[in-house]
Structure 1
Amino acid sequence: MTTLLNHSFGSELKDAFKPVDDYLANGIKWLDEVQQFYRERSAIEKEYAHKLGALSKRYFDKKGKKSATLSVGDDPKITAGSLESSSMSTWSQILNETQNLANERMQLSEELIIQVADQLKVASTKEDDLRKKHVVFVEKLFEDRDKVYSEVKKAKTKYDEYCQSVESSRQKADKDLNDERGRKHFQKHLVEMNNHKNIYLLKIHIANQFKAKYFHHDIPITLDSLQDLNESRIRTLNDVFTLAANLEQDCISRSGEHLQSVISAATANTPDLDSEMFIKHNSRGWNEPEDFAFEACAIWHDNDQIATDESAVIFLRNLINKSRAQLSEVKGTVESKQREIDGLIKLKVKYAENPALGNVDEVTNNLVETIHATAFLENKALIFETEIAVITEAVEDIDAGAKPHSFKATSFTIPTACDFCKGTIWGLSRHGATCRECSYTCHTKCEMRVPASCAGEKMSKKERQAQRETMASDTASLARSNTNESFSGTAYASVSSMTAMNGSIGDRERIIGNVRHSAVTPPLDMHKVPPLLSSNPRKITKAKVLFEYEGNSNDELSVKEGEEITVLEDDDGSGWVEARSQSGKQGIVPATYIEYIKSRPDSIASSITKKKGPTVAPKRGAKKLKYMRALFDYEAQSSLEIPIREGDLILVTDEDRGDGWTEGEINGVKGQFPTNYAEFVSG
Structure 2
Amino acid sequence: MSAPPPVNLGEELKDAFKPVNTWDIQVSNGIAWLDDLQSFYRERAAIEKEYAGKLNALSKRFHEKKSRKSASLTVGDTPQMTPGSLESASLTTWTTILNTTELLATEHDTLSNSLTTEVADTLKSLSTRYDDYRKRHESLAQKLLSERDGVYSDLNKCKSKYDSECKDVEEKRQKVDKSYDSSKTKAQKSYQNELVEMNNVKNTYILQIAAANRHKQRYFHEDLPDIINSLQDLNETRVAKVNGLWTLGTELENKCHQNSIELLNTQLSEITRNLPVLDSGIFSQHNVGGWVEPVDFVFEPSPIWHDNPDLVIDEPAQIYLRNILAKSRNNSKMLKVEVEKRGKDIVQLSERWDAVKMNESEVQKEIDIARALLYQKEQILPHAYQLLTCEVEIDVVLNAVGDVARGTQSHNFKSTSFKIPTDCDLCGERIWGLTSKGFTCSDCGYSCHAKCEMKVPAACPGVLDKAAKKALKEENKVSLKTASSELDLPGEGLTRSVTVTSTTSTLAPRGTGAKLTKSPSISGASVTSTAPTTAAPSLVPSVATTTAPTRRVIAPPPERYIAPPPVEDSPPGSPASSRPTSSRDGGESGKMLYTFTATGDGEVTVTEGTAITIIEDDGGWMQVRLANGEEGIVPTSYVQKIEKKSRGPPPPVRPRGMKKPEKKVKALYAYEAGGDDEASMAEGEEFVVIERDVGGWVKVKTRFGEGLVPGTYVTDV
TM superposition score normalised by structure 2: 0.72
CA distance in structure 2 between the aligned counterparts of 1:38 and 1:650, rounded to whole angstroms: 97
Q: Write the deviation string for residues 437-494 of structure 1: whole angstroms up to 9, x where unpaired.
A: 212122223212211111113152541343134224313421333x321234678645
Unpaired segments ≥5 residues, structure 2: 516-544, 568-574, 593-606, 624-632, 641-717
Check 1:25–1:352 CA distance in 2 against 1; reply closer, same or farther (3 A cut): closer
Match of 1:531, as an amino acid? R
Q: Write the deviation string for residues 24-46 of structure 1: whole angstroms up to 9, x where unpaired.
A: 01121111111111121122222
Does the CA-based 8 Å contact 1:409-1:434 persist in structure 2?
yes
Q: Which residue of 1 aligns with 2:285?
A: 280
Does the CA-based 8 Å contact 1:310-1:496 persist in structure 2?
no
SS in structure 1 opposite 2:319?
helix
Q: Which residue of 2 aligns with 1:660?
A: 621
Check 1:497–1:61 CA distance in 2 against 1; reply closer, same or farther (3 A cut): farther
Deviates more, 1:379-388 or 1:347-356: 347-356
Q: Which residue of 1 aligns with 2:257?
A: 252
CA distance in structure 1 between the aligned counterparts of 2:170 and 2:392, rounded to whole angstroms: 31
CA distance in structure 2 between the aligned counterparts of 1:133 and 1:637, rounded to whole angstroms: 70
Deviation at 1:227, TM superposition (A): 0.5
Deviation at 1:381, TM superposition (A): 0.8
SS in structure 1 opposite 2:440?
strand
Q: Which residue of 1 aligns with 2:422?
A: 416
Question: Which of 226, 229, 233 lines up with 2:238 in the alignment?
Answer: 233
Does the CA-based 8 Å contact 2:415-2:436 persist in structure 1?
no
Question: Which of 118, 121, 125 lines up with 2:124 in the alignment?
Answer: 121
Structure 2 residue 546 is matched with structure 1 residue 531:
no
CA distance in structure 1 between the aligned counterparts of 2:110 and 2:636, rounded to whole angstroms: 103
Q: Which residue of 2 aligns with 1:538?
A: none
Question: Which of 158, 172, 175 lines up with 2:175 in the alignment?
Answer: 172
Q: Which residue of 2 aligns with 1:82?
A: 85
CA distance in structure 1 between the aligned counterparts of 2:215 and 2:313, rounded to whole angstroms: 25
Q: Which residue of 1 aligns with 2:158?
A: 155
Q: Which residue of 1 aligns with 2:382?
A: 376
Task: Count matched residues.
Answer: 563
Q: Which residue of 1 aligns with 2:442?
A: 436
Match of 1:447, as an amino acid? E
SS in structure 2 opposite 1:323?
helix
Deviation at 1:153, TM superposition (A): 1.9
Structure 2 residue 379 is matched with structure 1 residue 390:
no
Q: Write the deviation string for residues 280-331 of structure 1: whole angstroms up to 9, x where unpaired.
A: 1111122111100011112211000011122222122112211111111111
Unpaired segments ≥5 residues, structure 1: 508-524, 535-571, 575-620, 663-673
Q: Which residue of 2 aligns with 1:7?
A: 7
Instruction: State how 1:643-658 maps to structure 2 within 5 Å.
Output: 643-644=589-590, 649=609
CA distance in structure 2 between the aligned counterparts of 1:332 and 1:325, rounded to whole angstroms: 12
SS in structure 2 opposite 1:359?
helix
Deviation at 1:355, TM superposition (A): 6.3
Deviation at 1:233, TM superposition (A): 1.0
Deviation at 1:151, TM superposition (A): 1.9
Question: RMSD of the TM alignment (CA)?
Answer: 3.5
Match of 1:644, as an amino acid? G
Check 1:283–1:489 CA distance in 2 against 1; reply closer, same or farther (3 A cut): closer
SS in structure 2 opposite 1:644?
strand
Question: Which of 56, 59, 69 lines up with 1:56 in the alignment?
Answer: 59
Check 1:505–1:190 CA distance in 2 against 1; reply closer, same or farther (3 A cut): farther
Does the CA-based 8 Å contact 1:323-1:388 persist in structure 2?
yes
Deviation at 1:270, TM superposition (A): 0.3
Aligned sequence identity (%):
40
Q: Which residue of 2 aligns with 1:480?
A: 488
SS in structure 2 opposite 1:453?
coil
Deviates more, 1:357-366 or 1:407-416: 357-366
Structure 2 residue 33 is matched with structure 1 residue 30:
yes
Instruction: State how 1:97-112 maps to structure 2 within 5 Å.
Output: 97-112=100-115
SS in structure 2 opposite 1:485?
coil
Q: Which residue of 2 aligns with 1:367?
A: 373
CA distance in structure 2 between the aligned counterparts of 1:190 and 1:157, rounded to whole angstroms: 16
Match of 1:463, as an amino acid? A
Deviates more, 1:334-343 or 1:250-259: 250-259
Deviation at 1:361, TM superposition (A): 3.4
Structure 2 residue 366 is matched with structure 1 residue 342:
no
Deviation at 1:420, TM superposition (A): 2.0
Deviation at 1:92, TM superposition (A): 0.3
Deviation at 1:661, TM superposition (A): 5.7
Deviation at 1:15, TM superposition (A): 1.1
CA distance in structure 1 between the aligned counterparts of 2:584 and 2:52, rounded to whole angstroms: 96
Deviates more, 1:411-420 or 1:106-115: 411-420
CA distance in structure 1 between the aligned counterparts of 2:219 and 2:493, rounded to whole angstroms: 51
Q: Write the deviation string for residues 614-669 of structure 1: whole angstroms up to 9, x where unpaired.
A: xxxxxxx745656598777557999xx985379994899xxx9962269xxxxxxx
Deviation at 1:174, TM superposition (A): 3.2
Deviation at 1:365, TM superposition (A): 2.5
Does the CA-based 8 Å contact 2:621-2:636 persist in structure 1?
no
TM superposition score normalised by structure 1: 0.75
Q: Which residue of 2 aligns with 1:215?
A: 220
Does the CA-based 8 Å contact 2:188-2:505 persist in structure 1?
no
